[in-house]
Amino acid sequence: MASTILAVGLFIFAAYFFKGIFTRTGVPDVLLLMLCGILLGPVLGWVSPAQFGAAGSALATMALVVILFEGGVDLDLSSLKSSISATLKLTLSTFIATVAIVTVAGVWLAGLTWMPAVMLGMILGGTSSAVVIPLVQGLNVQGKARTVLVLESAITDVLCIVGIFVLLDAAKKGGVSVADTALAVSETMIVAVLIGGLAGLAWLLLLRAARQLPHGSFASAAMCFIVYGTTELLGFSGAIAALCFGLFLANGRRFANATGLIRPGRLAAFSSQEQSFLQELIFVLKTFFFVFLGISMQLKDTQVLVIGAVIVVAVYGVRHVLAGMTSDRDIATEHVALTAIMVPKGLAAAVLAGLPLQQGVEGGETIQGIAFVVVLLSIGLTAVMIPIQRSTFGGGLYRKLFRSQQT
């Protein structure tokens, strides 16, 4: 027990140090935290995911929920309206292209049959909220580009989760309906938006009273956990609900003004003190989330490593093309470049990767191995590309590339 407590303290201080490195060099602290986990787990074998039991997964999910919550708080309602078109173009084109690339690689390189290969593509089709949102905040990206990246990560989580469950069900029944899939995705997103939005407005009515409670700063985060858990238990997207809960907390008075349903004066405002507490909570949860993710990596098969590397390079190449083609003209070139390199995979992919194996799908172990490698390498490549894109030389190359694509 003493060694565990010692490790907790060391990890938190290491996270402060890594945050400083990120500020000075642009090398993301999330990658350094993951590398710590990889060193302790797969490399040295000192700890394993099994030692954490259910607590490890629960802590990882809590980190994701709070990160999404703050991501919603940071979104501006006016930029959201102007960003919907750009978000959908980038999100859907990248998701479809990624699923196609991974499926082909799964069949031709990994020897999977088509259905398991499509499952692998669906698992890796999205971007990670838990990686994207902290990076966007750390890099101080503002305006439409910030909104597009945050929304993309939340939407693709839904697409991946719904998609893999539809495919697992199809594998049992021997077929899949496109109409049923589209309906399931639409339903889970719309209902989640309603739950998160209504809960956010309701909480603003209660927030003044909640502030009178001892240690009331934690009450909003606790309410977000309730919103997420309830939405998931109802069979809809807790991620979207958590994001919308934060969005309505930050923009409740604007919504009240626009709709006239509630007098704005009745709604409390989410304070800077509460947001500051939220950031402190995220700092601690994020630290253990990425260390745990590193511990969970499985990096034994050289062939799987090579296949994962090929997939990551191909996805990033296509993303660069799509970022230039789908970005609106009013997004700055440096933000288009950042959008092009922001395709890390994370918690959703790592969790979903184990489902085919659990369900007895042929090639399930291969699917899980490739997914873990892609999670690690995609975060690593994003980490490498950020300082390159911010450098004078790299920034110049990206300006030339995206000016030519946008003209």
Written as one string, the DSSP assignment of 317-366 is HHHHHHHHHHS-TTS-HHHHHHHHH-----HHHHHHTTHHHHTT-TTHHH
pLDDT in tens, 341-375: 999 997 778 878 888 987 888 898 899 899 989 99
In the block, tokens 């490593």 appear at 305
- Contact in structure between 110 and 307 (CB atoms under 8 Å): yes
Residue 102 pLDDT exceeds 90: yes
pLDDT computed for residue 367 by the predictor: 93
Classify residue 209 as left (phi > 0), alpha (psi -120 to 50) or beta: alpha
Residue 195 pLDDT exceeds 90: yes
Q: Which residue type does 155 have?
A: I
More confident of the two residues 276 and 316: 316
By CB atoms closer than 10 A (0-12, 13-18, 19+), residue 213 is exposed
Nearest to 395 by CA among 386, 404, 383: 386
CA 121 to chain centroid, in Å, comes to 16
Where residue 309 falls among pLDDT bands split at 50, 70, 90?
A: very high
Reading the block at residue 127, the tokens are 């971007």
CA 13 to chain centroid, in Å, comes to 24
| pTM of the predicted protein model | 0.79
Cα–Cα distances in Å, from 259 out to 9, 69, 252, 253, 331?
A: 48, 23, 11, 10, 29
More confident of the two residues 52 and 363: 363
Give the mean model confidence (pLDDT) for residues 5-9: 78
Where residue 6 falls among pLDDT bands split at 50, 70, 90?
A: confident
Nearest to 142 by CA among 89, 70, 75: 75
pLDDT computed for residue 53 by the predictor: 67
Residue 247 pLDDT exceeds 80: yes
Cβ neighbours of residue 327 closer than 8 Å, sequence gap 6 or more: 86, 90, 336, 339, 402, 406
Indicate the angle between helix axes 77-108 and 114-123, nearest 10 degrees: 150
pLDDT computed for residue 4 by the predictor: 66
Give the mean model confidence (pLDDT) for residues 132-159: 84
- Contact in structure between 115 and 153 (CB atoms under 8 Å): no
pLDDT in tens, 249-270: 888 777 777 666 677 677 777 7
By CB atoms closer than 10 A (0-12, 13-18, 19+), residue 152 is buried
How far is Cα 11 from Cα 14, in angstroms, rounded to an integer?
5
Please report how many Cα atoms fall inside a 13 Å half-sphere around the Cα of residue 87, on the Cβ side.
21
- Scored b (16 or more CB within 10 A) or e, 225-243 reads bebbeebbeeebbbbbbbb
Polymer length of the chain = 407
In the block, tokens 């995206």 appear at 402
Give the mean model confidence (pLDDT) for residues 26-36: 81
pLDDT computed for residue 119 by the predictor: 94
pLDDT exceeding 90 applies to what percent of the chain?
A: 23
pLDDT in tens, 385-407: 888 888 878 888 888 877 755 55
How far is Cα 145 from Cα 86, in angstroms, rounded to an integer?
9
Cβ neighbours of residue 45 closer than 8 Å, sequence gap 6 or more: none
- A 10 A CB-CB count for 190 gives 13
pLDDT computed for residue 229 by the predictor: 93
**pLDDT averaged over the chain?**
83
How far is Cα 106 from Cα 100, in angstroms, rounded to an integer?
10
Please tell me what DSSP assigns to residue 56.
H
Residue 2 pLDDT exceeds 80: no
Give the mean model confidence (pLDDT) for residues 94-121: 95
Cα–Cα distances in Å, from 79 out to 104, 141, 197?
A: 37, 13, 17
